[in-house]
Structure 1
Amino acid sequence: MSDNPLAQILEMDGEERYDYFLDAVVEEREIWILVNADNQFLKIVSDEDGVAYLPVWPGSEFAADYAKDSGDLSPKTVSLPDFFRKWVAGLSRDGLDVGVFPGGQGELWITSPDELKRDLQELMAF
């Protein structure tokens, strides 16, 4: 393990990063995405199975780290109420899944927008 907390978190497997994401998002009440200079959000299509997804992060530092080699992507926050109210329906309508907390060399947790909303709401109920 590294002394860098960012690196330690990125070394977690997909399920551990998903749990970390849920806890951090519930605490901060925001989700982070990447946008380009035209304010268009990053969408990734998997080479393996063609799944299209919106990558999301629990904090700006993780999104910025992911985009460090891209040049024109920058972190943007989406409030949790906006995510629930606007993004979940829009992503579902567009057939996009959510790629939760990509980074590091570990696997990625991909889920439907509705399932992510449900998991966040369950955690918020406690």
Structure 2
Amino acid sequence: MNNDELGQILELDGEERYDYFLSLVGEEREIWILVNAENRFLKIESEDGDFAHVPVWPTSAFAAKYAEGSGDLSPKSISLPDFFRKWVPGLTKDGLEVGVFPGRDDTLWITDPEELKRDLQDEMSSF
């Protein structure tokens, strides 16, 4: 995927990016997160600390684009079975939401981990 294609997809609104995410992840069977040099995943907290989410992307290229200029963040793949089996229960236990596919605008589809799992399972059933 070239930079023009990346840019066009990043210009989509939050809901359109969510649908794109479901479709691509359902096909590729992996989710991408960003990790630092200590292999700790990126977690974004609200200013008041009442809310936190983990941003996720459908491909390494989108995650890398988001991380540009951040220094030590790099994309890391999570297989869908691992996400369902380990990450969804862990995120739920820790009270973390999932921020699906941040784009160029300030909109972001925030969802509960269990809801994202259901949406991905529904998407995969159409393949």
TM class, shorter-length: over 0.9
User: What value does the CA root-mean-square deviation take over the aligned residues?
Assistant: 1.4
Unaligned 5+ segments in structure 2 are: none
| Shift in Å, 1:125 | 1.2
User: Partner of 2:67 in structure 1?
Assistant: 67
Unaligned 5+ segments in structure 1 are: none
Range moving further from structure 2, 82-91 or 44-53: 44-53
Task: Report the Cα distance in structure 1 between the residues aligned to 2:107 and 2:124, rounded to whole angstroms.
Answer: 26
Task: Report the Cα distance in structure 1 between the residues aligned to 2:49 and 2:17, rounded to whole angstroms.
Answer: 22
Q: TM-score scaled to structure 1, two decimals?
A: 0.94
> Which aligned pairs between 1:1-126 and structure 2 lie closer than 5 A?
4-47=4-47, 50-126=50-126
Sequence identity percentage: 69
Give the 3-state SS of the residue equivalent to 1:4 in structure 2: helix
Residues 47-82 of structure 1: per-residue CA shift (max 9 Å, x gap): 378420000000000000000110000000000000
CA contact (8 A) 1:32 1:58 kept: yes
Residues 67-104 of structure 1: per-residue CA shift (max 9 Å, x gap): 01100000000000000000000000000000000121
Task: Report the Cα distance in structure 2 between the residues aligned to 1:20 and 1:106, rounded to whole angstroms.
Answer: 17
Range moving further from structure 2, 99-108 or 82-91: 99-108
Q: TM-score scaled to structure 2, two decimals?
A: 0.94
Q: Give the ranges of 4+ consecutive aligned residues of structure 1 lying more than 6 Å apart after TM superposition.
A: none
Letter in 2 for 1:57: W
Give the 3-state SS of the residue equivalent to 1:41 in structure 2: coil
Letter in 1 for 2:87: W
Task: Report the Cα distance in structure 1 between the residues aligned to 2:16 and 2:121, rounded to whole angstroms.
Answer: 18
